[in-house]
Amino acid sequence: MIAVENLTKKYADHVAVDDVSFVCKPGRVTGFLGPNGAGKSTTMRMIAGLTPVSEGVATVGGADYRSIPNPGTQVGVLLDASAQHAGRTGAEILRLNALAMGLPTHRVAEMLELVSLSPQEAGRRVRNYSLGMRQRLGIANALLGDPRILILDEPANGLDPAGIHWMRSLLRDYADRGGTVLLSSHLLHEIEIVADEIIVIGRGRIVAQGTKDELLAGAGTRVRSLDDTALFDALQAAGVRTRAADNGGFTADAQPEEIGRAAARAGVVLIELRPGDGARLEERFLQLTVDTQRENHTARGDFS
């Protein structure tokens, strides 16, 4: 299990991670999502003992990562697939790490086969690897010690569609066998498929967390009218945040009763008013992080 309590990281006057708390449970894949610069990687580096904590506590399997004896046999970490010795071959990197962990040499061949790096590829220097090959080598290294916990930052970056499917199956099987997975990714569709729990962070703070079903259940209220321009003005006047729907009308962050009253005050005739359907993860992610994103979403139909 991974437990994070009131974790904070400050750089002078800048707060990169602000009072973050969550738990990743055995047998579950926890997706860790947020815009660029939201604090995901900093949080994961603090959990893995690579970045000093300003305040709070992060434990892995009940202990501070740095106090775990032979940590690679307990926790597999992949935070930057490019941070590997470019002058060594893939096989050499795994053999050296196996030696450091006191593992039998046959684990190297097993991991290379698991991540589908051929003997010829394993014999190449890492400087000649593609990003996808470096990701596979990083995953092999994370799994080398047969750990109970995985911490992976963007592990699918650089993988082709077949590789992403392989990664998804690998992580799902790992969790189903009782492993704990903390996974960050910008591939929201893949997180939606594989994750059991989801944590969303923005500007260093948790903005939402819960099971996937809990987070995707809240999709607001669906509303359409004979005059959507007048409806939009009425909802804006009532302080209701709205997003244009694909087939006309809006999804609004308010209860149907509130929307009905706003429309009635403006004399707008409604032709549809109902609880929204379950959201897709991309839609929900944009809703939850709208105030922390760099881009202006008005051009994409976000009228909030």
* Final residue before a domain boundary, out of 190, 211, 232: 211
Q: Do 77 and 198 fall into the same domain?
A: yes
Where residue 52 sits, what CATH number does that domain have? 3.40.50.300
DSSP string for residues in 21-34 = EEEE-TT-EEEEE-
Chain segment 94-135, per-residue pLDDT in tens: 999 999 999 999 999 999 999 999 999 999 999 999 999 999
d(CA 109, CA 130): 20
CA–chain centroid gap for 150, Å, is 13
d(CA 32, CA 197): 9
Domain membership of residue 245 as a residue range: 216-300
Chain segment 1-49, per-residue pLDDT in tens: 999 999 999 999 999 999 999 999 999 999 999 888 889 999 999 999 9
d(CA 140, CA 107): 10
Q: Do 99 and 76 fall into the same domain?
A: yes
Q: Is the pLDDT confidence value at 72 over 50? A: yes
Where residue 251 sits, what CATH number does that domain have? 3.30.70
Q: Do 88 and 232 fall into the same domain?
A: no
Chain segment 128-167, per-residue pLDDT in tens: 999 999 999 999 999 999 999 999 999 988 888 999 999 9
β-bridge mates for residue 252, sequence order:
221, 242
Q: Do 187 and 269 fall into the same domain?
A: no
Q: What is the pLDDT of residue 302?
A: 41
| Number of domain units in the chain | 2
Q: Do 37 and 134 fall into the same domain?
A: yes
Q: What is the pLDDT of residue 131?
A: 92
| Cβ atoms within 10 Å, residue 226 | 10
CA-nearest of 207, 276, 292, 282 to 242 is 276
Overall residue count recorded for the chain in this entry: 304
Q: Is the pLDDT confidence value at 83 over 90? A: no
Q: What is the pLDDT of residue 27?
A: 96
Q: Do 123 and 243 fall into the same domain?
A: no
Q: Do 197 and 248 fall into the same domain?
A: no
Q: Do 189 and 253 fall into the same domain?
A: no
d(CA 18, CA 212): 23
Chain segment 201-239, per-residue pLDDT in tens: 988 999 888 888 777 765 578 899 999 999 999 999 999
Chain segment 237-250, per-residue pLDDT in tens: 999 888 887 778 88
* Final residue before a domain boundary, out of 150, 178, 211: 211
Q: Do 19 and 146 fall into the same domain?
A: yes
CA-nearest of 228, 213, 223, 200 to 272 is 223
d(CA 49, CA 68): 11
Q: What is the pLDDT of residue 182?
A: 97
11 sits in which H/E element = strand 2-11
Q: Do 125 and 206 fall into the same domain?
A: yes
Q: What is the pLDDT of residue 195?
A: 92
Longest CA pairwise span in the chain (Å): 76
Chain segment 272-291, per-residue pLDDT in tens: 998 765 556 766 677 666 66
Q: Is the pLDDT confidence value at 303 over 60? A: no
Chain segment 165-190, per-residue pLDDT in tens: 999 999 999 999 999 999 998 878 78
* Final residue before a domain boundary, out of 194, 211, 228: 211
Q: Do 230 and 202 fall into the same domain?
A: no
pTM summary value: 0.76
Q: Do 71 and 197 fall into the same domain?
A: yes
